[in-house]
Each structure stands twice: as C-alpha cells, then as structure tokens.
Amino acid sequence: MLVRSLTLATLLAVASPLFAADSDAPLAKELGKARPLVIIAPSSADPTLRAVNKAFEDPATQAAFKERGLVLFSVAQMMGKRDDKNLEQQTTMALIRELKLGASKGTKVILVGKDGERHMLKDDDTGDALDPQVIIKAVDDLPATEKALKAPEPVAAAPQEGAKESKPGKPAKPAKPAAPPKPLDD
C-alpha cells in the first residue's frame, strides 16, 4: 500500500507542472491560428495603448488587422484583455510569464508570429504613440514561411486493423465485455 501511494505521489509531482503549463498559456492557444499583438502598458491612459485601441475602432484599420490575422492582447495595470474582452487574472499572469520580459517601466509592444517567433516593436518609456501602420508593416515584413504557416490539423483516429468488417445493411456484432480485474494482494 505504501509503495502505491509513493508511486502515485511521484507521478502527480512530475505531471502537475505539465498540465498547468498546458491549461493557461494564451499565446500557445493562438499558435498557428493568429498573430497575437501584445501591448503591456503601465496604465490604461498610455498613449500607445490608446492609439492602437482607437485604430481598432476605425473600420479600415480594423479590416487590415483582421486580414493579417492579428489578435490584440493588452495588459494595463495587471488587467488583461483579448480583443476588448477581459481576461481572468490567472490568464493575464500566464501571458506575462509566457513572454519572459523581465521588469521595466515603459510600454512594450510585441508581435508574435504564427510560428511563435517574437518581434519587439516598441520597448521604451518615452510616452510616444505607436502608429498602427508600423504594426501592419511589421506583419507584412514577416518571412514568407511564417505567412504560409497554418494551424495544426487534428489527427483523425485510425481504424483498428484487427476489426472485422460487417456486411452492408447488417448491424455489427456487439463486443464482448472485458473480464473484471483481479483483486490486488498486499
């Protein structure tokens, strides 16, 4: 009994970080599907954040962003948003951890390609606004291999090799139930 408990505890200790890393990584969910544009600002009144949000309101710029597959992630005062929808605090912190930026005072604008490659567009505390055309140009300047990248296709289950084919129009014979497990001796 003690051996089983120790084995279970060891398995849980090894597997827990793997499950935690999978569940709350917002950039990993976008991999191959979209290009996340991440803006980390000290406050919601930051000129760069306001300029990009205002650009998203303009239909022409919004269409250009959608055409290029951009998804806007913004973090201001530890409050995160994805395309103007609030993120949970845990998801916001996972986004910051996933970028591995370190501490700084200024605004950061990071473009993440479909392949996961990060491109720093702005990293300063001057307070200058970032023109949305700079973002569009940065996406257009990405390598052709990144632009051709598509989302991974889900793998279809392969048919079992040993399964017998039934005649057309005749229902398949139900499988025999598995034998009950034998009790363990301690």
In three-state secondary structure terms, 35 is: strand
* Res 4 pLDDT > 80: no
Is pTM beyond 0.75? Reply is no
Tokens of 181: 């497990």
Query: Domains of the chain (ranges plus CATH)?
Result: 20-147 (3.40.30.10)
Q: What pLDDT is recorded for position 149? A: 55
Mean pLDDT of the 23-32 span: 77
Phi, psi of 49 (to 5 degrees): -60, -45
Q: What is the pLDDT of residue 45?
A: 85
- CB-CB neighbours of 110 under 10 Å: 19
Identify residue 186 by its one-letter amino acid code.
D
Taking residues 117-131, report their average pLDDT: 77
Closest alpha carbon to 74 in 135, 21, 13 = 135
pLDDT-based confidence at residue 136 (cuts at 50, 70, 90):
confident
- Percent of the chain's residues with pLDDT above 90: 0
What is the tens place of the pLDDT at every residue in 143-174?
766 555 554 555 555 445 444 555 666 677 77
Residue 21: the pLDDT is 47
